Structure 1
Amino acid sequence: MNADFNTRFLTDTDETGRFIVSSHRTGAKYYVEVIIGAHTPEWGSIDPATGNLMHKKGDGKYTGGIKDKESMITKENGFEKIHMLGLGESPHAAIERLDAMKPDRIAT
């Protein structure tokens, strides 16, 4: 990935949910996008009196994810191994699993 791609990837991260994790042990970089789908839960607080979902001021300002058609993690952008995680699966846990399979970076 070049610097221009990284800049575009990391633009508006509060809105897109995109972030990059760099492994200090292996030197590998992991690009993450939060995909919003039909099963993405709504966030808020439950009003105990009515049982309805409430939103506080400013809630919903950022979606924190993108639709799958907006993904920048594609083979066309140079990504060879693309992993889709299951509902509720932690991207950090998945990265730890993937990174554990790689050899340590050779110190220079």
Structure 2
Amino acid sequence: MMKPDLITRFFQDTDETGRFAVTSSVTGVGYFVEPIGNGRGGDWGSYNPSTGNIEHKKGDGKNTGSVMLTESIITPENGFRNISHLGVGESPFGEISRRDTAYEAQGVRPC
């Protein structure tokens, strides 16, 4: 069972951490998602064709949208089960859909 104080901690600073949760309307199963990154914001902005460079916009570097693996809350010690690490570019929604379909086949329904 997940520790109650972890739910509060999980949803703190979501702009910075990128953490979110999804509850299936089909099975009622809750899924917690935590993007893992390198602790720095991505390079983003507008391409300037005259210089060939990316020009940064207001807010650049403000939020990383991920946590480092060492800062992850989603661990067995914190009561999480069936933890998956997806590769770069893999959608968590695809994994959620796959799992939810399997749970539905097992007869899991919302309470």
| Contact 2:42 2:64 (C-alpha < 8 Å) held by counterparts | no
Instruction: Give me the CA root mean square deviation.
Output: 2.0
Structure-2 separation of matches of 1:58 and 1:90:
25
Unpaired runs of at least 5, structure 1: none
1:9-24 superposed matches below 5 A:
9-24=10-25
CA shift, 1:51, in A, is 1.4
Query: Aligned runs of 1:10-89 on 2, under 5 Å?
Result: 10-37=11-38, 41-89=42-90
The alpha-carbon distance between structure 1 residues 82 and 106, as it changes in their structure 2 partners (threshold 3 A), is closer
Q: Report how many aligned residue pairs link the two structures.
A: 107
Cα shift readout 1:20-46 (whole Å, capped 9, x = no counterpart): 1111111111110111139x8522222
Check 1:94–1:107 CA distance in 2 against 1; reply closer, same or farther (3 A cut): closer
Contact 2:25–2:110, Cα closer than 8 Å, also in 1: no
Higher relative contact order (CA 8 A, sep 6+): 2
Deviation, structure 1 residue 60: 2.0
For structure 2, list consecutive stretches of 5 or more residues without a partner in the other structure. none
Contact 2:28 2:109 in 1 (8 A): no
TM-score, normalising length from structure 1? 0.86
On the 8 A contact 2:37/2:66 being kept in 1, the answer is: yes
**Percent of pairs identical after alignment?**
51
Q: Is 2:42–2:61's contact at 8 Å kept on the other side of the alignment?
A: no
The CA deviation at 1:81 is 1.1
